[in-house]
Structure 1
Amino acid sequence: MQQKQKDVTQHVGYLLKRAQSALRGAMDKVLREHGLTVPQYSTLELLALHPGMSNADLARATFVTRQSGNVVLRGLQDAGLITRPDAADHGRALPAHLTEEGHARLTTVQAAVYAVEERMTAAIEPRRVTALLADLERIAAALEE
């Protein structure tokens, strides 16, 4: 086990939060130029990969509450970027789908968001990015147990 650091700014948790905060700030800046928030962008990305996801699934995947997820979906729907049926076929879930405008907005903004990620990972040797991704997966899994 790693020995405790006395300086909290050198703890893994602190540095992870610092990196997350910097990433969020950079994403907020580029997304604001496209009229989107991080949860809205994340929702568009997920719906492009998995059309028909429910509010609950999207909220979980975008790290917001179901109530916040519903607000995000309503905003995207009002903007014409997604569609949802008025009533569920079965149960309560209303599957969401990107509209043509949603696909177009996502395509437009992806380059800006991916540039942020490239800027972030450029600080690391390419071979270490793969290891970092694996380490982050293991960290998350260890805390989700």
Structure 2
Amino acid sequence: MKQDPSANPLDQAIGYRLKQVEALLRVSMDEVLRPMGLTVSQYACLELIAQKSGLSNADLARDAFVSRQSMNLVLRGLQKRGLVRRPSTVESGRSRPTCLTSAGEEMVQRAGVAVAEVEERMARGLDEGQRQMLLAGLSRCMENLGD
């Protein structure tokens, strides 16, 4: 049986569609964060610290989807700008917990508003039920792949 050359199976592939959305979301986030002098990775780091202060470099890297080495560079840049604070030494272990400075708190608040507007634009036309179904479906996909 011949395959219809005009049919594009990628249009029906959930993973491919997710990657398209992720790429467009990242571009849109870059556009709103760039004027603030932030990258998406820097914003993710600030947001993670705002939600749970004291995370280690390894925790931040894992949760922001970057390597430890990349997160170290992100943290150094944020620290140089006065947005985060890390102790130079720790009492035990090697983990240096990170927390936001007051400037970091202001920045993550401002950036969070801009990113929320991008998310709202992305979900425009979806009612609350559809948004909840989308979140539930994506959560199920994560669970299925995480096992």
Larger radius of gyration: 2
Deviations 1:12-63 (A, max 9, x none): 1100000101100100110001100011101111111101000000000000
**Range with bigger deviation, 115-124 or 56-65:** 115-124
CA displacement at 1:121 relative to structure 2: 1.1
**Range with bigger deviation, 26-35 or 102-111:** 102-111
Long gaps (5+) in structure 2 = 1-6
Paired residue for 1:89? 91
Aligned-partner residue type, residue 91 of structure 1: G
Paired residue for 1:76? 78
Matches within 5 A, 1:44-83: 44-83=46-85
Matches within 5 A, 1:128-143: 128-143=130-145
Paired residue for 2:103? 101
SS at match of 2:36: coil
CA displacement at 1:125 relative to structure 2: 2.2
How far apart, CA to CA, are the structure 1 residues paired with 2:8 and 2:109? 45
Q: How many residues align?
A: 141
RMSD: 1.2
Deviations 1:81-107 (A, max 9, x none): 000000122111000000000001111
CA displacement at 1:127 relative to structure 2: 1.0
Paired residue for 2:123? 121
Determine if the alignment matches structure 1 residue 20 to structure 2 residue 19: no
**Range with bigger deviation, 117-126 or 99-108:** 117-126
How far apart, CA to CA, are the structure 2 residues paired with 1:19 and 1:123? 15
Paired residue for 2:4? none
Paired residue for 1:10? 12
Long gaps (5+) in structure 1 = none
Paired residue for 1:40? 42
How far apart, CA to CA, are the structure 2 residues paired with 1:7 and 1:49? 40
Normalising by structure 1, what TM-score? Answer: 0.93
Normalising by structure 2, what TM-score? Answer: 0.92
CA displacement at 1:6 relative to structure 2: 5.6
